[in-house]
Amino acid sequence: MGRILMYVLPIALTIYAIADIARTDESRIKLLPKWGWFLIAIFVSVIGPIAWLIAGKTRYRKPPKGRGPKGPDDDPDFLKGL
């Protein structure tokens, strides 16, 4: 069981990282261009996919500024109807 995991886990991690790189928008990728991350994920065995998962893209989107109330208690129109 341990030997199978030792071979399958790095392959699965690499496949996941390549798919994630392909799906990620260029504007969210940091440090390297998309093709650079592909090369690192493929040729640098286990460390490449882990590097992508840790430092390759921005994880959280910033909330939009000035787009209205965040909740019903911040909405003046909603509060007038109470």
Rounded Cα distance, 82 and 76, in Å: 10
* Helices of type H across 1-80: 2-23, 34-43, 47-55, 76-80
Does the structure show a pLDDT above 70 at 15? yes
Q: What is the pLDDT of residue 45?
A: 84
pLDDT band at 74 (very low <50, low <70, confident <90, very high): confident
Give strand pairing partners of 29: 57
Could you tell me the pTM of the whole model? Answer: 0.68
* Residue bearing the bigger pLDDT, 48 or 71: 48
3 pLDDT band, cuts 50/70/90, is confident
Summarize pLDDT for 18-59 with one digit per residue, the tens.
999 999 988 889 899 999 999 999 999 889 999 999 999 887
Contact (CB, 8 A) for 34 and 21: yes
